[in-house]
Amino acid sequence: MADSRYSKGQLKAGQIATQKGAIDTSRTYILGVFGPKNALKAMIQDRGGRPRVVSVGDRISLGPIKGIDQKGILVQQGGQTRRLPLAN
């Protein structure tokens, strides 16, 4: 039975994030995006393999998060903004 506290996307992201060996832990992955459009959050698996929830303004191993949308997150790197898309 599904847990009604979480969206379908959150549950899928959580399953991917906790499945041993499912993702290369030397890279950063965007596992899912959720929340209201004006305050989206993303579940990522950062280098080292630890899953966490991030918001705009948070810092990850690649740099500060400048934006989150339904396609992934935007990270500031070396004066440029780079998109990290959702993991397939």
- pTM of model > 0.85: no
Q: What is the pLDDT of residues 54-78, one digit of tens each?
A: 999 999 989 999 999 999 999 999 8
CATH architecture of 8-85: Roll (2.30)
Q: What is the mean pLDDT of residues 18-39?
A: 79
The count of other CB atoms within 10 Å of the CB of residue 85 is: 10
pLDDT at 75: 97
Instruction: Look at the alpha carbons of 70, 57, 46, 10 in this order and tell me if their dihedral is positive or negative.
Output: negative
The residue among 83 and 15 whose pLDDT is bigger is 83
